[in-house]
Structure 1
Amino acid sequence: MIDPASLPALHASHGGIWLREGGRTQGLAKGQAIGRAAETPVLLLNAPLTGQRLGYPDLNGLDLLELWAFLHPARFLVPTPKGLAQALGLPVPCAEADIPALLQNATQALLDRLESPDWREREGAWTSAQTLHRLRWPWSPLVAPRIAKPREAERWLFSKLPEWEEAQPRPAPRTVMLDEAQVLDRLDTLTGAGAEARPGQRAYATAAIGPFRPRAHRDQPNMLLAEAGTGIGKTLGYLAPASLWAAQAQGTVWVSTYTKALQRQLDRESLRLFPDAAVAARRVVVRKGRENYLCLLNLEDALQGGFSGRAAILAQLVARWAAFSKDGDMVGGDLPGWLPTLFRRNGSTALTDRRGECIYAGCPHYRKCFIERSARASADADIVIANHALVMINAARGRETGQRPQRIIFDEGHHLFDAADSTFSVALSGQEAIELRRWIMGPEGGSRGRRRGLSARLSDLASYDVEGGEAIRSAADAALALPADEWLKRVVADEPFGPLEALFTAVRGTVFARAADTGEADAGYGLETELAAPDGPLVEAAQEAALALDALLRPLTHLSRRLEAVIEDAPDWLDGAARARIEGAVASLGWRRDLISAWLALLARIGGPADPDYVDWMTVDRVEGREYDIGIHRHWLDPSRPLAETVLKPAQGVIVTSATLKGGGDWSDAESRSGAVHLPHGAGRFEAGSPFDYAARAQVLIVTDIKRGDLAALSGAYGRLIEAAGGGTLGLFTAIRRLRAVHARIADRLARAGLPLYTQHVDPIDTGTLVDIFRDDPRASLLGTDALRDGVDVPGHSLRLVVMEGVPWSKPTVLHAARRLANGGNAYDDRLIRARLAQAFGRLIRRAEDKGCFVILSAAMPSRLLSAFPPGTPIRRVTLDEAIIAVSVASRRETLGETASLGHQGHESGHSHLERE
């Protein structure tokens, strides 16, 4: 066997490059390191990241993260040298030059586990190792010889996964009245014996009882808007009445979030409700959209030759994970977020059902399907943890009509408006249209894959029902009018084929013609223009496209009716599996008919009167000058209207809650953006301020001497502030271009100071993993955009400084301009900006013992927006040098454990003085 100590180990960072070989570690130049890695496979940790550091993105080698994924497929690991060392019980390296030695020691420790009788994930490993050896996985020569061949054939994956069972529908929940004393007793149980009593949390739990009472009016849920400042403990505050109601009424409460981070947190909190993990798994279920889960049929196709090269290796490692996964969730579940990024773009998305191609009971793995198992488990659960989009879609057009949410808690409620905006919008684009064609037609020409068209999926119907078969053929003929492969090349060349491609050609011409007047056409970014005053060619193209879509809608509608008739007739061949497949096809046809109908309504607008309820515009989507889509878009001017009609009014009780629900404004904004304003009797209100001492634990510094647009000054400010804080910095940007520019200027400088820097949209690491790395290393800093401004929970010393590049002004899009005009102009903008500032500031103080500084690098910060920050928070306008001194002092005090106030004597405290400026 190969001795791991004899393998060269390579580590590269912004601070330098080190290679350990023959018992000696030496520093290398980039060219030397690339040459050495190309000669012989070297031990690496995160090959894509190492390759980026070397400027050699195609770097391959013996990546220890791949070895970890093979040995411990569903175990959490922070993918850093420190994280690896701690997971294996090895000493954490003191310096980067010590990391190559750690890689060698970690390799030995991991390989030793292959022969250990305590290796819990042994099942299926021998079979997988043999396949990986044939695929020439670099680790195979070291792994395969160490795994003993089992005496009996391994029972693995498809034979190992449990089957779900059909259950009779759950009765409607009983009508119960929660007792306040019982709710508070439940809260005491959840918080634990000896926990400090929090009056705000107890008041919150009491207020949250209302939505669980029987409603008194039709089209009017018992609705509560609840703003609970950070530290109140709102999660346990609403889980107390929710869990008690679920137990007494034998019903289900849906807890909806906007971010996956909060979903994971809620899943962990479920152990407070049900300390037995097995019971918790039954009573608390996480639900996500279908595109989040592993599709077993897609995986089987990949394992049987559908994937090749590196993608085939990824499929094998995903199969190892699937055998041990809790729920098959590939996005935010127990699949390591870093695993797909190791294989760059090779295949992870093809393992999920992203195109709506599920054949339901026609699938050989239907009884073991992760998606179906989750859906059925949620029917009998006490608590279903979902996201805003899924709750809305389930209410609007869900297959599980008996499971439509009746008691809903929208946590992160400040995002409800945005989620509704996305859910109830319409986009007629080239990419959407070609996906519809592929769903109807299946593979065309030389295309490969598991994709099947309507004819293949409904072959038994076609042979049984003449009308149904004719409808399928008519739909396939009509789908020829939709864009085909290479559509974008033809559109750009002004050589469209078919009415839809002609429409996109006309849209593109109009967008570019209007962009020429603004000078934006040559900037390389996406372009958009309002759908107003269309010219003759665009109107004609829209009319022809509408005729083609109408010709497609008719056979699809007829096919739906025939499928429903077959279910009603129940012929001999319609057994349980066939019925489920037909019902699934009816549901799929239903939402595609709705989509085409929405497209037709959008096209009718072109050349006709505008609908005041909607905002319509046209786009050419580009990345760095490269076009990738063209489309027409329609959004509700006020998406809280369909939210109220579709989700709120049918519900019995609703709680909308957040630490920043009012966004630094008043209740009118919360009511309008939550949909409460459209209910006959409105909603109740609850407010509890944060118990944290912001005056002593935080300060806001507005830097006044950074000139807008000066990238060198902006980069220098970020670098100096991070150095002053000693890391622990979250940097927030409103533009990816500036984010990348700042990263490029300061990464090496910070590395030389021993301060790691990780950057969203630069490092080949998913956002969730970036946050895990940041949380794990108090000297690390993280730069990112909006995704890091909302929902990131990094308590303690790891986050002690938040820096914003400037005021988070709204982008001047067509949609924003329309809403701004309809909602008070500058006042509307101010409400949005205050909400963003409040969310960003909320990242800083997560626990009572946290301290930190919030820095805005903009002299243009208006005083009227400062109400976004908690009352009493010290706020000062300072120069960069003064800000650096303040950050340095604050960080030093936190490190030393001092409890003195962060502010200097003589600072401008609170909001009142600034409001008088």
Structure 2
Amino acid sequence: MPNADYRTLVRANYRRLSQSIQGFKPRREQNYLVAEIGKVLLGQYDSGRRILVAEAGTGIGKSLAYLQAGIPWARLNQKKLIISTATLALQEQLVSKDLPLFQPHCQPGFTFALAKGRARYCCGRRLEALALGENQLGLFEAAEGPTPAQQRQLAELWQAWCDKRWHGDRDSWPEPIADALWQQLQAEAHSCQPQWGHHNCPFHLARAELDRVDIIVVNHALLLADLKMGGGVVLPEPEQCLYILDEAHHIAAVAREQGSARLALRQARRGLEQFNKGLGSFSDLLGEEGQPALGRLQQALQQLLPALTTLYNQLAGALQRTELCPDEQGCLRFATGELPGFMDEALSALKEDNKAFARALERVQGQLGDQLKRQPARAAALEAALALLSQQQRRGEQTRDLCELLLRPTGPRQTPPARWLEQEPQELTLCATPLAVGHLLEQWCWSRAAAVIMVSATLTALNDFGYFRRAVGLRADDGSHYLRLHSPFDYRSAPLIIPRLDCEPTDAGFDRLLAEQVPVWLAGQGASLVLFSSYRQMQGVAEALRAKGFSLLVQGEASRQALLQLHRQRCDGNQPSVLFGTGSFAEGLDLPGHYLTNLIITKLPFAVPTSPVEEAMAEWITLCGGNAFMQLAMPEASRKLIQACGRLLRTETDHGRIVLLDKRLVSRRYGAALLDALPPFSRELS
């Protein structure tokens, strides 16, 4: 593709777009982002590694920028454009606003679709069977089957699907579908048989649409799940894709979640015992030729059940003898990832027995599939058996992943996974999460993709990309290009106020201080958002303020949507409104104009390393000779503080103030670094 053709298209598209929008104002930073994305895509920085990491502050219009630069390149190079986001709100914005806005003005033209995971779609055959009153799948408890209300909803779902008024996905149904009911309906990979045909399958119909469109919008979890499986399962193969990862600061955390595994030992055994009791009904379905496969499955079960029991009993015994000592929450993290010696043999046996069980399941599944071809009249019963096999295959994969993470050897330069045990009454759960996922992202995506554009409003920490780069597996010298564009907003018109307080958040009297200070900074204000570091602290301050007569909208007391709707109604009616929220309200909350003019941050967002994953990460940094506070806590706090402060100014005409009730910004040496990383608010010490 000649570079001139691409640049000509981008300029022409921009001209048509700008002429069609009334009152359009060119944004210098947005245009610069378009140009830099174009240079990366054309290989001007590195023709062998087209990767851009771009921090684009609020108000730049990054989504419209990457659409302008990315779509023509992908279309000219016959690549699929995959736009991945972390939040549903941004997905909805792209699908309902940004892409439709750009579509009439873009050449070459494009089509787009929103991709969802298989579990968001129902299985057409399951829906039909349950709607017609057939509970042959054996998925409902006992013989009761669906309740009358569930049966009515099943009939409505089935009729809507038959009438083509519903696409078969949970999200587009106007009424809630209970989790317990949806679990019986949802499509599953293992129980989906090609011989049943895909012409009446909601998931495969949606999957076929993805093959036809030019742009696919996904979330990070689905993208990484597909990449983990090698790519090309739900989405196209990485070599055929231009990836745009918006809200890219979430990528490492989502990758860790994808690599995590957990196994509740007694629950796993109970599930296998229940499955074993139902195997007798398989004999008639399999016929004479399937009996050897059934025998091998029963034999594998007889080996796997004792392996689970042995591991449980060994752990329970060690806990009883206090050789293992969980904390007050029943959590025991294995320091430096080292397991007690007795676990190695038990886990190795479990791994091998689970592997044999998985092979036996596949043989029986194949035999049942053959029977389905020969005996379509028995499809309902055969499908019920295959559905039960599907459940066991899914559970077996969880066991396999857990064993591999727990038994994975680690060398002196390899970061060990976080490994821990959770103790509950009558249950022990083993858990593991990889800490370092950068090499996985390099293997899954960075080294394979046609191009990758990562954007977010917060990718730097303490004014540096190093923290993000290490988390996602990039190197300073690998050819990736970095760009930082500041917001065009007038931050100096918004004061950042740091009151002179008597104590710090670590002091015993801080909660009482908040109950006294928050009302001071709410006085005379119209639209306020108060951000807390913990639910406990938020609820305590809320109780104290309500006792003084304050009317508050507190996170958790109603849905997020309901709270925000009520907040906007009060603001529109010129009534004071006060929102209380925690960390999730510090990111992604969009309250422009008069909906937020007074932002109060009660405490610097330092994470307390109480989770096993956070503890393990801090421990590993220390063991490697580093400083966990400076390398982990500080960069993360800086990023979160920038996100929190970003709630105030959402448009060029917004105004207001930020009050930060944490004197450590001025009393501790690290405070200056955190302040310098913020946008250039005018600072006031009061």
Tell me the TM-score normalized by structure 1: 0.61
1:430 counterpart = 2:258: no
Code of the aligned partner of 2:449: A
Aligned residue number for residue 36 of structure 2 = 207
Q: Is this contact kept in 2: 1:455–1:462, CA < 8 A?
A: no
Aligned residue number for residue 184 of structure 1 = 11
Query: Structure 2 residue aligned with 1:241, among 62, 69, 77?
Result: 69
Shift in Å, 1:545:
4.2
Q: SS in structure 1 opposite 2:493?
A: helix
1:638 counterpart = 2:436: yes
What is the CA deviation profile of residues 733-782 of structure 1, one whole-angstrom value per residue up to 9, with x for unaligned ones?
22222223233333465xx55x441322xx2x444554455455424433
Aligned residue number for residue 227 of structure 2 = 395
Aligned residue number for residue 662 of structure 1 = 460
Q: Is this contact kept in 1: 2:74–2:242, CA < 8 A?
A: no
Query: Structure 2 residue aligned with 1:688, among 485, 504, 515?
Result: 485
Code of the aligned partner of 2:333: T
Q: Is this contact kept in 2: 1:739–1:783, CA < 8 A?
A: yes
Shift in Å, 1:422:
1.6
Aligned residue number for residue 641 of structure 2 = 837
In the alignment, the residues of structure 2 paired with residue 383 and residue 533 of structure 1 have an alpha-carbon distance, to the nearest angstrom, of 42
- In structure 2, runs of 5+ residues without a counterpart are 134-143, 666-670
Shift in Å, 1:430:
0.8
Q: Is this contact kept in 2: 1:208–1:241, CA < 8 A?
A: yes
Cα 1:592–1:833 shift into 2, 3 Å: same
Aligned residue number for residue 758 of structure 1 = 554
In the alignment, the residues of structure 2 paired with residue 348 and residue 854 of structure 1 have an alpha-carbon distance, to the nearest angstrom, of 46
Q: Is this contact kept in 2: 1:176–1:248, CA < 8 A?
A: no
Cα 1:555–1:722 shift into 2, 3 Å: same
Query: Structure 2 residue aligned with 1:229, among 57, 63, 66?
Result: 57
Cα 1:571–1:635 shift into 2, 3 Å: closer
1:408 counterpart = 2:248: no
Shift in Å, 1:697:
3.5
Code of the aligned partner of 1:816: M
Q: Percent identity?
A: 20
1:260 counterpart = 2:117: no
1:859 counterpart = 2:668: no
In the alignment, the residues of structure 2 paired with residue 462 and residue 772 of structure 1 have an alpha-carbon distance, to the nearest angstrom, of 61
Code of the aligned partner of 1:372: H
In the alignment, the residues of structure 1 paired with residue 7 and residue 383 of structure 2 have an alpha-carbon distance, to the nearest angstrom, of 44
In the alignment, the residues of structure 1 paired with residue 361 and residue 342 of structure 2 have an alpha-carbon distance, to the nearest angstrom, of 30
Cα 1:851–1:556 shift into 2, 3 Å: same
Aligned residue number for residue 334 of structure 2 = 530
Equivalent runs, 1:215-614 vs 2, <5 Å: 221-268=49-96, 269-274=98-103, 283-293=111-121, 301=130, 304=133, 306-308=145-147, 329-330=169-170, 335=174, 339=176, 347=180, 350=183, 353=186, 356=188, 359-361=191-193, 367-397=199-229, 400=233, 403-405=236-238, 406-425=241-260, 427-430=261-264, 434=267, 438=271, 465=290, 468-481=293-306, 498-505=309-316, 514-515=325-326, 521=328, 525=329, 527-531=331-335, 539-557=341-359, 559-560=361-362, 573=374, 595-604=398-407, 612-614=414-416
RMSD: 4.6
Q: SS in structure 2 opposite 1:209?
A: helix
Code of the aligned partner of 1:253: L
1:712 counterpart = 2:521: no
Q: SS in structure 2 opposite 1:846?
A: coil
Q: Specify which structure has the bigger relative contact order, considering alpha-carbon pairs within 8 angstroms and separated by 6 or more residues.
A: 2
Q: SS in structure 1 opposite 2:430?
A: strand
Aligned residue number for residue 525 of structure 2 = 725
Q: Is this contact kept in 2: 1:231–1:690, CA < 8 A?
A: yes
Code of the aligned partner of 1:693: D
Tell me the TM-score normalized by structure 2: 0.79
Q: Is this contact kept in 2: 1:507–1:631, CA < 8 A?
A: no
Shift in Å, 1:845:
1.2
Q: SS in structure 1 opposite 2:26?
A: coil
1:788 counterpart = 2:585: yes
Q: SS in structure 1 opposite 2:664?
A: coil
Shift in Å, 1:689:
1.1
Cα 1:504–1:853 shift into 2, 3 Å: farther
In the alignment, the residues of structure 2 paired with residue 372 and residue 683 of structure 1 have an alpha-carbon distance, to the nearest angstrom, of 36
Shift in Å, 1:868:
2.9
In the alignment, the residues of structure 1 paired with residue 608 and residue 458 of structure 2 have an alpha-carbon distance, to the nearest angstrom, of 21
Cα 1:620–1:244 shift into 2, 3 Å: same
Cα 1:203–1:514 shift into 2, 3 Å: same
Aligned residues: 643
Shift in Å, 1:236:
0.4
Shift in Å, 1:791:
2.1
Q: Is this contact kept in 2: 1:424–1:642, CA < 8 A?
A: no
What is the CA deviation profile of residues 809-867 of structure 1, one whole-angstrom value per residue up to 9, with x for unaligned ones?
12224223235424543321211110111111112211111122222222223222112
In the alignment, the residues of structure 2 paired with residue 312 and residue 361 of structure 1 have an alpha-carbon distance, to the nearest angstrom, of 26
Shift in Å, 1:634:
3.0
- In structure 1, runs of 5+ residues without a counterpart are 1-173, 446-452, 484-497, 879-917
Cα 1:656–1:552 shift into 2, 3 Å: same
Q: Is this contact kept in 2: 1:410–1:654, CA < 8 A?
A: yes
Q: Is this contact kept in 2: 1:648–1:654, CA < 8 A?
A: yes
In the alignment, the residues of structure 1 paired with residue 200 and residue 404 of structure 2 have an alpha-carbon distance, to the nearest angstrom, of 40
In the alignment, the residues of structure 1 paired with residue 292 and residue 636 of structure 2 have an alpha-carbon distance, to the nearest angstrom, of 54
